[in-house]
A and B are shown apart, each in its own frame.
Chain A
């Protein structure tokens, strides 16, 4: 058998991922990226547009990157679909945030009684009062656990950071559960008013979770 020696140029010029590498892409598996362009909502629906949101994974992760609202002072929010076409799964949630103004005033950690939910079908805020200045936005992440279970409630954990419309940072912590035993098969993100002007949401499944 003849021998072939490779140098690093041979490898770095590859244009297609080798099968051996692609077959095991790590435990954080990219499922879908949605990029907003003056969109009312961004929706991840199991079985649509290559989205997987079922028992393939037990833990899903969403990343929010530079979510920029069209309207000033609006709330980045999430809803979960537990049947039908509405994103109205009943939720009980916990909401609090730390904030600090750009002028150094009033740093605090506060429970946010106005943005939590008690057995409500409303969307859950993940951010609040985000400004629509050109450079303002919301970033963060959210984990969703065991959405396909028909036995247990469905927990979620979110942390995010946003620019308040009045020029201060808000570090948001939102968690809770969809108090339903029906499977969650779709997740929708939107602002409380107006479009998502720009921004990217990435969805991942965590293998073997």
Chain B
């Protein structure tokens, strides 16, 4: 058979729309691509490691987003934290960050916004608190999101921005705004979440790539 090498061969739209796969063309039409969901059940940590358990955390996406839904600590007063891995097995990438928050008591007695030096980091390898003083009451938890930008870069530092709301240990609404960067040029290939003390009793964290 001689195949035509030029000219127009038309098909009707029924033929194309009936296709079930599109070769290498992504079928994800949205700008957010689901990667991995982890559900805590008395878990010490929740880890997203590139190349493990279907996790993608590399140059596939320039931006990643984590969502946190009803994160509940086992221990009263624990802080919800994140760490970034920049080589080896430790989540100890050096970070400099800012943290500020707003809060309002359920009693209505106090309300404020302010910078919080307790939770910012200065060239520290410690975990980053993204909301403080969680409550372990049965109905209290925290929810929010974190954006991580270009973790695979070996040229630039790696920026992150988090916004988290919680129902605080002392029964007030608190919202934390965290921003900073891993001050490393090594790639970030894994992200770990934990409470500063005790387990993550419950809650889900989902990872998305942003197209």
* B-binding residues in A (CB < 8 A): 2-7, 9-11, 13-29, 58-59, 92-96, 109, 111, 113, 116-119, 143, 145-146, 149, 151-153, 155-157, 173, 175-177, 179, 181, 206-209
Q: Please, which residue of chain B has its CB at the minimum distance from the CB of A6?
A: B11
Indicate if the CB atoms of B70 and A175 lie closer than 8 Å: no
Whether B174 is near chain A, meaning CB under 8 Å from some CB there, is: yes
Contacts of B33 in A (CB 8 A): 26-27
> In the assembled complex, which residues on chain A have CB atoms less than 8 Å from the CB atom of B174?
94
User: Does B56 have its Cβ within 8 Å of any Cβ on chain A?
Assistant: no
Whether B143 and A155, one on each chain, are in contact in the complex, defined by CB atoms closer than 8 angstroms, is yes
Indicate if the CB atoms of A118 and B141 lie closer than 8 Å. no
Q: Report if B106 contacts A (CB, 8 A).
A: yes
Ordered by A's residue number, 9 sampled pairs between the chains whose C-beta atoms are within 8 Å are: A5-B4, A18-B17, A27-B33, A117-B104, A145-B143, A146-B70, A157-B175, A175-B173, A179-B106
Question: With A22-B29, A111-B102 given, can you name 16 additional A-B contacts, CB distance below 8 Å?
Answer: A6-B9, A10-B9, A18-B18, A19-B20, A20-B21, A29-B30, A58-B67, A93-B173, A145-B143, A146-B69, A151-B138, A157-B145, A157-B163, A175-B102, A208-B34, A209-B69
Most buried by B among A3, A96, A118: A118
Q: Are B22 and A94 in contact (CB under 8 A)?
A: no
For B208, list chain A residues within 8 Å (CB).
Answer: 27, 206
Check A94 against B167 for contact (C-beta < 8 Å): no
Interface contact tally, CB-CB below 8 A: 188
From B10, B27, B107, contact of A24 by CB (8 A):
B27
Given A146-B69, A152-B70, do A173 and B29 touch, yes or no (CB 8 Å)?
no
Shortest Cβ distance from A173 into chain B, in angstroms? 7
Question: B residues 140-159 with Cβ under 8 Å of A?
Answer: 140-145
CB distance from B106 to the nearest CB of A (A): 5
Check if B104 sits within 8 Å of A152, measured CB to CB.
no
Q: Is B75 an interface residue (CB 8 A)?
A: no
Report Cα–Cα, A94/B108, bound state, in Å: 11
| Bound complex: CA A157 to CA B102 (Å) | 12
Q: Is the CB of B173 within 8 A of A176?
A: yes
**Is the Cβ of A21 less than 8 Å from the Cβ of B67?**
no
B interface residues with partner A (beta carbon < 8 Å): 1, 3-4, 8-11, 13, 16-22, 27-34, 37, 67-70, 72, 102-108, 111-113, 138-145, 163, 165-167, 172-175, 202, 204, 206, 208, 211
Q: B30, A92: Cβ atoms under 8 Å?
A: no
Enumerate chain B residues within 8 angstroms of A24, measured Cβ to Cβ: 27-29
Q: Contacts A9-B8, A155-B143, A179-B167 given: A173-B102 contact, CB under 8 Å? A: yes
State how many angstroms separate the Cβ of A13 from the closest Cβ of chain B. 7
Q: How close is A33's CB to chain B, nearest CB, in angstroms?
A: 15
* A155, B142: Cβ atoms closer than 8 Å: yes
Cβ distance B145 to chain A, nearest Cβ, rounded Å: 7
Residue from A4, A116, A152 within 8 A of B11 (CB atoms):
A4
For A30, give the chain B residue with the smallest CB separation: B30
Enumerate chain B residues within 8 angstroms of A13, measured Cβ to Cβ: 13
Determine if A58 and B204 form an interchain contact, defined as CB atoms under 8 angstroms apart: yes
Q: Please, which residues of chain A bring their CB within 8 A of the CB of B20?
A: 19-20
* Least CB separation from B101: chain A residue: A94
Which of A17, A175, A176, A179 is packed against the most chain B CB atoms within 10 Å?
A: A175
Q: Considering the complex of A and B, which 3 residue pairs feature the smallest CB-CB distances, nearest first?
A: A26-B30, A118-B108, A145-B143
A5 to B10, CA, bound (A): 9
